[in-house]
Amino acid sequence: MPSDAHTSFRWWRAGDLDGFFGLFVDNLIQLILIVVLCGNVLQMPGDLVFGRILPGVAVSLLVGNGFYAWQARRLALATGQAQVTALPYGVNTVSLFAHVLFVMKPVLEQSHDAELAWRVGLAACLGSGVIELAGAFLAGWVKRITPRAALLATLAGIAITFIAMDFCFRIFAQPLVGLLPLAVILLQYIGRLRLPFDVPAGLVAVVLGTGLAWGLGRMDATALNAAFALNPQWPALYLGDLLEATFSNYLLQFLPVIVPMGLFNLIGSLQNLESAEAAGDRFGVRSSLAMNGVGTIAAACCGSVFPTTIYIGHPGWKKMGAGAGYSVANGVAITLLCLLGLVGWVAALVPVEAGAAILLWIGITIAAQAFQATPADHAPAVVVGFFPALAGWGLLMLESGLRAAGANVETVGLTALTQQLPIGGLIALERGFIFTSMIWSALTVCLIEARYRAAAYWALAAAAISATGLMHGYAIAGGAIVNAYGPATTWPFVAGYAAMAAAFWMGGWRAPCKKSGVQI
């Protein structure tokens, strides 16, 4: 250990305040989604949402944020780095929607029993955690054989679409509230201008945005007063409910949702670890992913139905100067909100637009990193990796617009939609887009480096995953686009990828494989 390791590490750094506000706003949005979806979509009573689910979320976030802060301290002491940024952590947004819409809602429609829907949600959360924990022991191998561009391109695509674009739209929907906080963030983090008295830009942005929103009459004082009601809740163990649902027929029924969600969480967390390493913080793969699974299992045991994950955004927090303290502060703040019943009150006090500039910056940073932290000639592979995420975001926009009009893909019909856009291709590319993005980027890197046979292996991997339906498989049922498993619907992709593999393999006969770069 370097002699100055203990003196160089500090639990709180100036950038931790900015990091805290950004991660807190992101986590707060997830909590608001939980309250809205569980209350409005699942018709769950308040004592179930505020008395069981949110305290369970608090346990998982406090445990996870605490671990990743300790992990950052451990790395700092081992390497002597003055600044090591803890991995961001929170509720997985994709799994949140999947568990609500494709697990608990069908149970509720079949049984009309919100309590049963909650218990099945616990089992789904446990299943996801077990997959994440088990996958931690294989993820290191995946990381070794996968080019960095393939891991970072997926995150960059998600950052541009699901993060940056969403918050960019929020800013431009409320320009009087959102543009001035954005200017503050850009001045400090792109213009590198220090604010007076070294006040963190994130704090200034949130205070400015909140003040402008209230001053312009955009906020509701009545709603704020109504939302303030202390209702302390304590987490509890729900092992009996969890085991009852785990060994029921419902778990088998919803494995087609639980398994891909667990795998997506695992691959997404692995990509975030690569992103952190590219930014300068090399955390242990096995321990990081294992804790991710443990946090999700803890959530299920304590009443939460929502898996947790290592968040996208580490490079942005690191550029802000955040260390370990922002993670601890986020875990404590979210825990207090959940246990005191104040989630609604904070949402009524601070507009999302006040923190949107911070999260827009995070999206920009992650997208830029995919190009900056990879060889310049791998840039085409990064661009290729964007396409599946763009398809995922485009389909989300399409479905949201149709729902707002009281329609859906099934009622409008694929034939009618095909007249405006190749809807079949859009949906197929969106299904399992995390896998598709990584594989396509990886085989593109192999082609750039003239490793044609390695590219063939990646194409064969795409064929194998497509045969399971985890990539490209879909069906239209009940007004929604759902996963379709097995080769019955994906055989054209299986055949197409196999043909690509054959073409790449034959290319290997015409040119010797280079020995540089990542091998497979």
pLDDT recorded at residue 514:
47
Confidence of residue 256 (pLDDT cuts 50, 70, 90): low
Dump pLDDT digits (tens) for 364-422: 887 888 898 788 999 999 999 999 989 989 998 998 889 888 888 888 888 899 988 89
- Any idea how long the chain is? 520
Which residue bears the tokens 């969480």?
A: 265
* Helix, strand, coil fractions of the chain, as percent rounded to 5: 75, 5, 25
Q: What is the mean pLDDT of the chain?
A: 86
Q: What is the largest CA-CA distance in the chain?
A: 73
Does 170 score more than 80 pLDDT? yes
Reference 86, options 102, 101, 70, 110; nearest CA is 70
Dump pLDDT digits (tens) for 128-158: 899 889 988 887 787 778 888 887 887 788 8
Query: d(Cα 53, Cα 51) in Å, to the nearest integer?
Result: 6
Strands 474-477 and 89-91, sheet pairing:
unpaired
pLDDT recorded at residue 1:
43
Report DSSP state, residue 460.
H
Query: d(Cα 204, Cα 460) in Å, to the nearest integer?
Result: 51
Does 512 score more than 70 pLDDT? no
Does 6 score more than 80 pLDDT? no
Reference 142, options 513, 450, 442; nearest CA is 442
Tokens of 189: 């983090």
Average pLDDT over residues 489-493: 95
Does 44 score more than 80 pLDDT? yes
516 or 120, higher pLDDT: 120
Query: d(Cα 8, Cα 21) in Å, to the nearest integer?
Result: 24
Report DSSP state, residue 352.
H
DSSP codes joined into one string, 129-195: HHHHHHHTTTHHHHHHHS-HHHHHHHHHHHIIIIIIIHHHHHHHHSHHHHHHHHHHHHHHHTS-PPP
